[in-house]
Amino acid sequence: MVDLRDDTTWVAIELTPFGEAKVTEGFLEVALRRDLGVDDDHAIFIPCSLYRKDGKVVTIHLMEGYVFVASGLPETAYFNLERQPYVHKVMSTQSGPHRMRVLSVITDKHILEMRAKLRKLTSSEIPVGAEVMVLDGTYRHLSGRVTGMDDENAYIHIRLRSLEVVATVPRIFLEEEPH
């Protein structure tokens, strides 16, 4: 029997229009880390992807208006975010005889599914000729250039000191490298 109590859970935070602008500008994660007092080790998932295409920043949204922050901090740290102009509200419920406000959390499994969907959306936009990083599988953490594609896979030219190969990699395992 697996004990799910040790799995990461996530706090859902609803953003204001100002918060959405911070997402598009790429500044939301920095603001959250500053206001929560956490470093890069504390997980934050913004369900969108930003990349450059023809000199313009393109945003692919999986779910607009929300960001997810790993639990593990005092509940008051999350609720204090509601004082920030970029946060509308922290998702919560009221329970008990005193109607105490308690965080509503989302399972790690749900976040992993959203990450996979976002990768699939993002990978469909990667053009032939793009420089990419392989995120999973045999060639994980290697980068190369896309030489071709089919419905499911990309063909990546990977060059190392001792090896040069054109690898077949599922498109959802790829992330376009910034220029």
At residue 5, φ and ψ (nearest 5 deg) are -65, -25
Query: What Rg value do the Cα atoms of the chain yield, rounded?
Result: 19
Outline which parts of the chain fall under CATH 2.30.30.30: 127-179
Q: Residue 2's pLDDT is what?
A: 44
CB atoms within 10 A of CB 1: 3
> Mean pLDDT, 10 residues at a time, over the chain (179 residues)?
66 95 90 95 88 64 88 95 97 84 91 85 80 88 91 88 90 79
What is the distance between the alpha carbons of residues 168 and 88, in angstroms, rounded to a whole number? 44
Closest Cα partner for 85 from 19, 132, 21? Answer: 19
Q: Residue 5's pLDDT is what?
A: 54
Q: Residue 15's pLDDT is what?
A: 96
Class in CATH terms, 127-179: mainly beta
SS3 helix, strand, coil % of the chain, rounded to 5?
25, 40, 35
**7-125 architecture in CATH?**
2-Layer Sandwich (3.30)
What is the distance between the alpha carbons of residues 69 and 106, in angstroms, rounded to a whole number? 10
Residue 100, strand partner residues: 95
What is the distance between the alpha carbons of residues 101 and 121, in angstroms, rounded to a whole number? 36
Q: Give the contacts of 131 (CB within 8 A, at least 6 positions apart).
A: 143, 144, 145, 176, 177, 179
- What pTM was estimated for this model as a whole? 0.67
CA atoms within 13 A on the CB side of 69: 29
Q: Residue 55's pLDDT is what?
A: 62
* CA 54 to centroid of chain Cα atoms: 23
Closest Cα partner for 121 from 174, 178, 157? Answer: 174
